[in-house]
Amino acid sequence: MKIIMLGAPGAGKGTQAKKIAAKYDIPHISTGDIFRANIKNGTELGNKAKTYMDQGLLVPDELVVDLVVDRVQQDDCKNGYVLDGFPRTIPQAEALDKALAALGDKVDYAIDVNVPDENIVNRMGGRRACVGCGATYHLVYAPTKTEGICDVCGKELILRDDDKPETVQKRLNVYHEQTQPLIDYYTKAGILKTVDGTVDINDVFAAIVEILGA
């Protein structure tokens, strides 16, 4: 069961990817984790990626695809995997399909966790982080016992720049430009499945399980 997770920043696709990985006993793979593991282990691909990252440059698609394909050929992926945060663009998706086809492999499902922009802006705008220990809360979904004060260490909470409405909207605009076309790409491939990401986390997961089959 090879799955790609799609969805805007803040849609909750990472949370669902972890739940899928736990239920079906398959690895949850994010490109960030792959980069870190390869750099830490000093692999050839990791060293190449590091030279770009050290210069503050984006790692080229070709190298990212090589890293992902290398990862999905490892033993723990023999029953499948969940790819989270990759591919982000059509060229990446095409390169991944081509590389997997060369191995006689393919993606089974692309699952889009669909949440309207307005919901995401509200959801992320309600996040608060502790200046002391870094614990995160939400004004609506996970409030602190005392307003504006961390339950763990008692320091004050702030709205991070990343979660400010104007920043969130910018990230969403980039997502729609670059990643939204993947929805059409995987629809044409006949593997796209869409779930409503505005409902409770467990209900979103139940919908995904129904698609994948227990």
Q: Which of 48, 88, 164, 193 is catalytic?
A: 88
123 is catalytic: no
Cα–Cα distance, 192 to 186 (Å, whole number): 5
128 is catalytic: no
Beta strands in the chain (DSSP E): 2-6, 28-30, 81-84, 109-114, 127-130, 136-138, 157-158, 192-196
104 sits in the region (left: phi over 0; alpha: psi -120 to 50; else beta) called: left
Only one residue has tokens 């695809």, namely 65
Q: Is 127 annotated as a binding residue?
A: yes
Q: Is 136 annotated as a binding residue?
A: yes
Q: Is 171 annotated as a binding residue?
A: yes
164 sits in the region (left: phi over 0; alpha: psi -120 to 50; else beta) called: beta
Q: Which CA distances in Å does 121 have to 10, 65, 78?
A: 8, 31, 38
Q: Is 6 annotated as a binding residue?
A: no
Q: Which of 2, 71, 123, 127 is catalytic?
A: 127
71 is catalytic: no
Q: Is 77 annotated as a binding residue?
A: no
Q: Is 146 annotated as a binding residue?
A: no
Q: From edge to edge, which strands make up the β-sheet containing 81-84?
A: 28-30, 81-84, 2-6, 109-114, 192-196
**How do strand 81-84 and strand 157-158 relate by DSSP bridges?**
unpaired
Q: Which of 13, 19, 71, 128 is catalytic?
A: 13
Tokens (6 digits) for 208: 């995904």
Q: Is 13 annotated as a binding residue?
A: yes
Q: Which of 23, 78, 160, 170 is catalytic?
A: 160
Q: Which of 50, 155, 171, 193 is catalytic?
A: 171
Q: Is 12 annotated as a binding residue?
A: yes
Q: Is 133 annotated as a binding residue?
A: yes
Q: Is 86 annotated as a binding residue?
A: yes
Q: Is 73 annotated as a binding residue?
A: no
Which of the residues are catalytic? Answer: 13, 88, 127, 160, 171
Q: Which residues does the annotation place in the binding site for ATP?
A: 10-15, 127, 136-137, 199
Q: Which residues does the annotation place in the binding site for AMP?
A: 31, 36, 57-59, 85-88, 92, 160, 171
Q: Which residues does the annotation place in the binding site?
A: 10-15, 31, 36, 57-59, 85-88, 92, 127, 130, 133, 136-137, 150, 153, 160, 171, 199
Q: Which residues does the annotation place in the binding site for Zn(2+)?
A: 130, 133, 150, 153
